[in-house]
Amino acid sequence: MVDSAFSHAGSAGPGDFRPMLDSLTSALKSQIAAATEATSGLRVDDPVIDVPRDLAHADLACPVAFDLAKRIKTATGEKRAPRDLATAIVGWLQEPGRLPAGIARLDVAGAGYVNVFLDRAAILAALVAGSPMTTTDGAEKVIVEHTSVNPNKAAHIGHLRNSVLGDSIVRILRAAGHRVEIQNYIDNTGVQVADVVVGFLHLEPHTLDEIKAIPDPFDYYCWDLYSRVGVWYRDGNAEGRENPEKLALRAEAQHAIESASGPIAEMAEYVAMRNLEALLRTMYRLGITYDVMPRESEVLQSNFWSDAFEMMKAAGSIHYEADGKHAGCWVMRAEEADASTDDDDFAADKILVKSNGLVTYAGKDIAYHLWKLNRIDRDFSYRRFHEYPDGHVVWITTPDPSAGETDHARFGHGDRYINVIDVGQSYVQDFVKKGVMSVANDPKVAASTHLDYEKVGLTVAACDDLGLPLADDERKRTFIGMSGRKGRGVKADDLLDMLEQNALAEVRSRVEKMNYPEDEQAAIAHTIAIGAVRYFLLKFSRNAVIAFDLKEALSFQGEAGPYIQYSAVRLNSIFAKLRDAGVDLDDPLGRLGRDRVTELLAAEENADFWPVVYLCAQLPETLARTAAGLEPSIIARYAFQAAQLTNEFYHRHQVRNETDADRQALMIAIIGLVQRTLVDALATLGIDVPERM
């Protein structure tokens, strides 16, 4: 396998590919385990194998001898020097037939490291021959729910983090071979929609026709109205007390909306769906699409909730409170252990049905998740909501079965679900999962997760840049929370507009050199803007609070998406120039032959070739770690690292002007590999590489 590029370059199909570094490492592990047993009588299973910080030490390092020495001492009391143990292990491994293919030699270093040097030419050849992305077609269906923005106003960058994170998880899972369905839950019956309706009814009275006549951006209009309603409830003082009479109007609207009939419900329906259309447009700018959008109204009206309710009653996991603080409610009781937190201020139990009969979000969510895993014996009716330019259709649930269309894929029926929801909702999500478990105690539920992530806040500097007013005590804080009620936040479309404008300016500044036409300029600027915002939101680990800094988010330099895109684009340029010069780009490794490649890689002047190749070899393992941790920042940082090596390589070596034909051929193989690695890694983040920029 490892030398396929020399024997039949380029012929390896996706089917016969295995990530060679991973399989090499696991083969090596089991051989080292065997070596420990053979040389000491004690077996160390699954020994640690590291990539050393400094590749001059080795390609792989194994500190197993330290572990072994400890175990020997524990077992027999005998003190053995790790270095002697390592020497014995290396001696055993070097016997013929014991080393996995792809390893050149072993060494003992330091106090007892087993150092491994790879057959670098073989690794390079295998990489060039195969796609580093796994292509297995798994049968498991994963339902990823993300975005789920209240459809009552424009999305801000906090919502964007959710969507970009979720969308990247989708791409990563698909790259890892999973079938994925993307769901965007629409909370069209909640308080937030009701508040905008209250605004249209009482704060600035509009008829439905007048609302329909409001020009786009409608979601911006609602953004302002929503924040004004928040102040209006407090009689004009944002920090004041809510006026009960006005709150009654909200409750009235909510009830009307839940009843799903009458002019108020009709207005809410229009407001929610028009905001949803705006949301889909915003998300599509970032390349984010959905498969199906279940609406809360249908979860209620199509009796998903009542089914779940009965199931939980039968399971005894929900209780009616006849008296006490929660009199008249149906609650899920907290665990014994948690009940200790119950006091006057904090109730440990979770209310699923309020005393007025309305179902809380947690209750509806339980019903929704049971449906996702096919544990409720009914389905929604669906209609087409929107068709994307590539023909993909996003479906939405509809209350009217007769209006339903049936020519869609089978929705739901997941083997597990992943819900991208911010960490602030962990408490409720724990109850939701417990509720689902209580009636569907199976591995599908256990394997399902609430994928949590921290909030996006604003820096004081960002608020000043954006002209958002701050109170004096707020100026001392490290970040300022966004607030829809206060209308404080950076709208997603505004950020994208700024990014595209900045990117276009950059593109235009080099129009003389690059000579691209107008329409290409805009397309490039768009791709760069998306690269910038997506990378910015993904480079932080999920549990890091992002203090949104406008300057940093708008930066195209350093650890930023456009930097990575640029490094890949430079490789495009090299290939373009090479083609112009008539250089043979076909099968460079095959032309050189294995021995010549080994010789070239070992040469002093080519010392910085191998680290580039080696990093590329680590893509599958990086992708696996990313998928296992559902942590896109891992592969985001990997891509940046690859881009750094690319730019260094670009600067140090002139591929086009290289006079040694063999050396040039090797360089061509390497930059081809790096380019594909960059493109593949960025693809999992939803970032494209333009042809030029």
Partner RNA sequence: GCGCCUGUAGCUCAGUUGGAUAGAGCAUCGGCCUUCUAAGCCGGUGGUCGCAGGUUCGAGUCCUGCCAGGCGCGCCA
Q: Footprint of RNA on residues 468-497 (CB under 7 A)?
A: 477-478, 481
Strands of 456-458's sheet in order across: 480-481, 456-458, 546-548
**Contact between 543 and RNA per CB under 7 A:** yes
Cβ distance to RNA smaller for residue 7 or 340: 340
Residue list 273-292, contact with RNA (CB under 7 A):
none
Task: Please give the full DSSP string across 479-524, using - where no structure is assigned.
Answer: -EE-BTTTTBS-BHHHHHHHHHHHHHHHHHHTHHHH---HHHHHHH
Query: Does the footprint of RNA cover residue 243 (CB under 7 A)?
Result: no
10 lines the binding site for RNA (CB under 7 A): no
Name the segment binding RNA (CB under 7 A); options: 185-193, 196-204, 214-222, 371-379: 185-193
Residues 95-134 that bind RNA (CB under 7 A): 109-111, 113, 115
Dist CA 284 CA 287 (whole Å): 5
Q: Is 3 in the site for RNA (CB under 7 A)?
A: no
* Under rule CB under 7 A, residue 555 binds RNA: yes
Nearest to 11 by CA among 587, 630, 652, 661: 587
How many Å separate Cα 342 from the centre of its chain?
36
Options 68-76, 90-98, 273-281, 305-313: segment touching RNA (CB under 7 A): 68-76
Nearest CB to RNA, comparing residues 29 and 594: 29
Select the residue interacting with RNA from 123, 180, 265, 546 (CB under 7 A).
546
Residue 577 engages RNA in binding (rule: CB under 7 A) = yes
Instruction: Please identify which residue in 10, 14, 26, 73 interacts with RNA, judged by CB under 7 A.
Output: 73
DSSP state of 203: I
**Strand order across the 350-353 sheet:** 319-320, 330-332, 350-353
Is residue 42 involved in binding RNA (CB under 7 A)? Answer: no
Decide if residue 692 touches RNA (CB under 7 A).
yes
Q: Does 426 bind RNA (CB under 7 A)?
A: yes
Q: Among residues 218, 223, 566, 614, which is the contact residue for RNA, using CB under 7 A?
A: 566
Cβ-proximal residues to 245 (8 Å cutoff; 6+ apart), any chain: none
CA–CA gap between residue 232 and residue 203 (Å, rounded): 8
DSSP H helices, 630-685, are 632-652, 661-684
Tell me: does residue 538 bind RNA (CB under 7 A). no
Return the sign of the alpha-carbon dihedral for residues 256, 259, 263, 265: positive
Where does 17-127 show beta strands of DSSP type E? 60-62, 103-109, 113-118
DSSP secondary structure string, 116-155?
A: EEE-HHHHHHHHHHS-SS-------EEEEE-----TTS--
Interface with RNA in residues 251-270 (CB under 7 A): none
- For residue 596, the minimal CB distance to RNA (Å) is 21
Among 52, 100, 138, 177, contact with RNA (rule: CB under 7 A) = 52
Residues in region 330-369 near RNA by CB under 7 A: 338, 340-341, 343, 345-348, 351, 354-356, 358, 360-362
Site string for RNA, 385-424 (x = CB under 7 A): --------------------------------------xx
Which of 379, 656, 679, 683: binder of RNA (CB under 7 A)?
656
Q: Please, which residue, 358 or 679, has the CB nearer to RNA?
A: 358
Judged by CB under 7 A, which of 123, 376, 460, 693 binds RNA? 693
Number of Cβ atoms within 10 Å of the Cβ of 136: 10
The nearest distance, CB 373 to RNA, in angstroms, is 20
Q: What CA–CA distances, in Å, run from 555 to 168, 500, 560, 562? A: 21, 12, 7, 9
Q: Using an 8 Å Cβ cutoff, are 145 and 162 in contact?
A: no
248 binds RNA (CB under 7 A): no
- Can you tell me whether residue 678 is helix, strand or coil? helix
If we measure between CA atoms, which residue out of 588, 593, 592, 601 comes closest to residue 119? 601
Amino acid at 145: E
Q: Which of 374, 541, 598, 606 binds RNA (CB under 7 A)?
A: 541
Contact pick of 498, 644, 679, 688 for RNA (by CB under 7 A): 644
Is 579 a binder of RNA (CB under 7 A)? no
